[in-house]
Each structure stands twice: as structure tokens, then as C-alpha cells.
């Protein structure tokens, strides 16, 4: 008589149905995807270190013909560091951090083989909007107010939608279920912080020298990028186990 026994199995080894049929996630996840996922960790850390260090070193800057000094991280935007003597370093960091996050996002979702190809690429495109916004702000400084604002909205406002969609897509995957649930909560939290920022923001030269818009912008930026860091680290750890490293 034939007997069978049941053994619980993890989703990193369970064959799943993708666009081309059943596939074994552990066989398809690669060391390359594992290391690429770390871009989503390194990019935000680099960006945060840059504005903290450069903010401490900045003597101020000139915007629209007005001298703004000293630089205050409480009242003035991170983008103010993209003007004056800190400009080359801050603008380069905007671009480099955005590219690192983009690479990380690609690595994360290329390692999640339980998703269909369409779902994976939808997640990549949605999160890539944030990294694109950082690159835009690196090329268009605060004085180019329209494209710079568009970059800011791409970087910090699109996650209101992308976090909700990606949270729903991640929840069916066992190893990402808890994070997917938290990411669903991250969507309204991000919306609340975006609203708070605009309530404290004054779009004038005088306005950016007073108030707390610099602080609320930093809180928003840290919150958004923290989700990338956690997702990148989870993907790195998970993929490393699936490839036996």
C-alpha cells in the first residue's frame, strides 16, 4: 500500500504558477537579484547621510537672487542643499540614490518568483516613480520650481498609491504577508505626512526661511524611504536563503 506524508513547505520552495506555467522560486532566484535588492537599502541610507552631513556643513545658499543663511534643517528644504557650495554633492546624491533605489527595486521583484510577470513589473514601475523623482530633482534644482516640484511629488506622493497596490500583491506570499499588511497601512500614513508637509509649506523665499516645513519634509522623506529599506533587506535575506547562501 502506498502511503504519503504531508510536510509543511515554505513558499521559497513551493512550485508556483507564473505566466509561463509552474516554476520553482528557489531555482529561479539568483545571487544577482539578492545583491541588487540591496540598492533599495543603500540608496536611502546614502541620501539621508548626505542631507544630514551637508546640512551641518552648509553656510547657506542663494535662491532667486535672495541670500538664505544660515541653513536650517527645520525650516528649509533638503533641496536647498542643491544650491550654493553643497550643490554638486547634494545633486549628485539625488541622482545616485535614485538610481540605486531603482536597481534595488528591480532586484527585489525579480527575486519574487511567486508573482506573475505582469504583477512583478507593475510593482517595479510603481516604485520606480519614486526613484525617478529623485533623479529629476538632482537635475532640476529648487530654482527650477515646476520640474523640481514634479520630482518631489513623484518621490513622495506616488507611494500613497504604490504602497497600497504593492501591499495587496505581497500579502498572498507567505514570507511577505506581514510586510504587505504593514505596507497597506503605510499608504494612508504617507498621505497624512504629505498633507502635513503642504500645510506647513510656504512657496515663497520668505516662507522657506521660517516655519517647520524642512522638518515635516524630512519626516516624510524618512518614512517613505524606510519602506524601501525594509523591503530591500527582506528580499535580500529571503533570496539569500533560497539560493543557499
Strand partners, 23: 16
Does residue 235 carry a pLDDT above 50?
yes
Q: State the cell numbers at 116.
A: 506573475
Domain ranges (residues) in the chain? 26-242
Distance from C-alpha of 160 to C-alpha of 171, rounded to nearest angstrom: 17
pLDDT tens sequence across 9-20: 344 444 444 433
Pick the more confident residue, 36 or 31.
36
Cell 504629505 locates to 194
The reported pTM is: 0.86
DSSP β-bridge partners for residue 18: 21
Confidence band, pLDDT 50/70/90 cuts, at residue 157: very high
CA 105 from chain centre, in angstroms, equals 8
211-217 CB contacts, 8 Å cutoff, 24+ apart: 211/75, 212/74, 212/75, 213/75, 213/76, 213/77, 214/72, 214/73, 214/74, 214/75, 214/76, 214/77, 214/78, 215/73, 215/74, 215/75, 217/77, 217/78
pLDDT on residue 56 = 97
Coil, strand or helix at 64: coil
39-72 pLDDT per residue, tens: 999 999 999 999 999 999 999 999 999 999 999 9
The number of beta carbons lying within 10 Å of the beta carbon of residue 161 is 14
**Whole-number Å distance between alpha carbons of 9 and 14:** 7
Question: Among positive and negative, which fits the CA dihedral 139, 142, 147, 151?
Answer: positive
Tell me: the pLDDT tens digits for 68-92? 999 999 999 999 999 999 999 999 9
Residue 23 predicted with pLDDT over 50: no
Amino acid at each position: 500500500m502506498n502511503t504519503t506524508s504531508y510536510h509543511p513547505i515554505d513558499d521559497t520552495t513551493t512550485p508556483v504558477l507564473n505566466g509561463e506555467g509552474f516554476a520553482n522560486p528557489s531555482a529561479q532566484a539568483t545571487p544577482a537579484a539578492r545583491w541588487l535588492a540591496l540598492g533599495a537599502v543603500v540608496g536611502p541610507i546614502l541620501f539621508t547621510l548626505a542631507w544630514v552631513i551637508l546640512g551641518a556643513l552648509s553656510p547657506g545658499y542663494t535662491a532667486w537672487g535672495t541670500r538664505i543663511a544660515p541653513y536650517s534643517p527645520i525650516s528649509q528644504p533638503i533641496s536647498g542643499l542643491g544650491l550654493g557650495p553643497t550643490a554638486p554633492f547634494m545633486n549628485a546624491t539625488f541622482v545616485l540614490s535614485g538610481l540605486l533605489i531603482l536597481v534595488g527595486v528591480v532586484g527585489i521583484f525579480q527575486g519574487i518568483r511567486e508573482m506573475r510577470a505582469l504583477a512583478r513589473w507593475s510593482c517595479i514601475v510603481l516604485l520606480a516613480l519614486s526613484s525617478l523623482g529623485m533623479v529629476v530633482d538632482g537635475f532640476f534644482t529648487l530654482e527650477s520650481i515646476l520640474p523640481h516640484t514634479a520630482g518631489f511629488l513623484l518621490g513622495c506622493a506616488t507611494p500613497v498609491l504604490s504602497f497600497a497596490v504593492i501591499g495587496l500583491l505581497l500579502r498572498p506570499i507567505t514570507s511577505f504577508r506581514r510586510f504587505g499588511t504593514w505596507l497597506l497601512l503605510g499608504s494612508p500614513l504617507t498621505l497624512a505626512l504629505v498633507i502635513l508637509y503642504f500645510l506647513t509649506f510656504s512657496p515663497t523665499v520668505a516662507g522657506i526661511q521660517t516655519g517647520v516645513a524642512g522638518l515635516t519634509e524630512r519626516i516624510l522623506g524618512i518614512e517613505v524611504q524606510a519602506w524601501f529599506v525594509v523591503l530591500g533587506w527582506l528580499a535580500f535575506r529571503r533570496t539569500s536563503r533560497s539560493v543557499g547562501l
